[in-house]
Amino acid sequence: MSLTTNKEAYDGYCGTSYAAKVLGISVGTVQGLVEKNDLKAWKTQGGHRRISLQSIQDYQRRHNLAPASLMLSEDRLRVLVVEDDDETRVMLQANFDKWGLPLDAVMYSSAMEALLDMPSLQPQVLLTDLRMPNVDGFQFLKTLSEHALFSNLAVVVITGMSADEVKAKGGLPDGVQMLQKPVDMDWLRGFFDALMSVRQINRRARSQAA
């Protein structure tokens, strides 16, 4: 598995889930827009659909839609969630919505699909499960850890595995936080709050330096 760090090769397209989040519509509606050629798309050799970011922006302009915060704002935290369990994804999104924090979360059930979208999304935070079909969380994190593009990514593993089970599988890359299921949502809320505080401090420091 490989992931190029050449951003120019990636920032012109995205996957179906990311397009749905940007436009504020369902994945099924995005697929319908593709079929009607309202959005330009193609499929990779592996069968993953890629959608032109330019065609998404053109669609927004044609329909007088405000550009989504995902594509514009540096004031919001971009969070990518990779979890194959539907109930866990729904639970996480429900809590994110309830908290009202300035974050945008995109949910994926597949690590491979998430890998294809990450260079376009440029997330600051990754929440990932470990036990997943096809590409598991261990392979996923190993791939990410080998690329400088994601060196500043804050990573939290959410898993039902014990610390000993994780160690037996080779452990986790340095700096990765491990949160066991059932998820301690108070801890996760505090984690996001801390990240946002650090980002605000860094922005003020850059502004004063300028």
pLDDT digits (tens, 9 = 90+) for 95-127: 998 998 888 888 888 898 888 878 777 889 999
pLDDT at 93 exceeding the cut of 90: no
Average pLDDT value over all residues in the chain = 84
The average pLDDT across 127-137 equals 92
Q: Kindly state the average pLDDT of the residues 21-40.
A: 90
Show the tokens assigned to 161: 């595995």
Q: Is 113 exposed, middle or buried (0-12, 13-18, 19+ CB in 10 A)?
A: buried
Structure tokens at 111: 């690590």
pLDDT at 74: 64
pLDDT at 19: 85
Q: 3-class secondary structure for 128-189?
A: ECCCCCCCCHHHHHHHHHCCHHHCCCEEEEEECCCHHHHHHCCCCCCCCEEEECCCCHHHHH
pLDDT per residue as tens digits for the range 159-182: 999 999 999 999 998 889 999 999
Do residues 44 and 132 make contact, with C-beta atoms less than 8 angstroms apart? no
Written as six digits, the tokens of 141 are 């994190």
Contacts of 27 (CB under 8 A, 6+ apart): 16, 17, 20
pLDDT band at 7 (very low <50, low <70, confident <90, very high): very low
Mean pLDDT of 32-42: 92
User: What number of CA atoms fall less than 13 Å from residue 29's CA on the CB side?
Assistant: 9
Hey, what are 112's tokens? 């491979």
The residues pairing with 143 across neighbouring beta strands, listed in sequence order, are none
**CATH 3.40.50.2300 domain extents, the chain:** 73-206
Considering the domain delimited by 10-68, tell me its CATH architecture. Orthogonal Bundle (1.10)
Would you say 24 and 70 are in contact if contact means Cβ atoms under 8 Å apart?
Answer: no
Domain with CATH 1.10.1660.10 in the chain: 10-68
The model's pLDDT over 148-159, given as tens digits with 9 standing for 90+, comes to 767 789 999 999
What's the CATH superfamily of 73-206? Response regulator (3.40.50.2300)
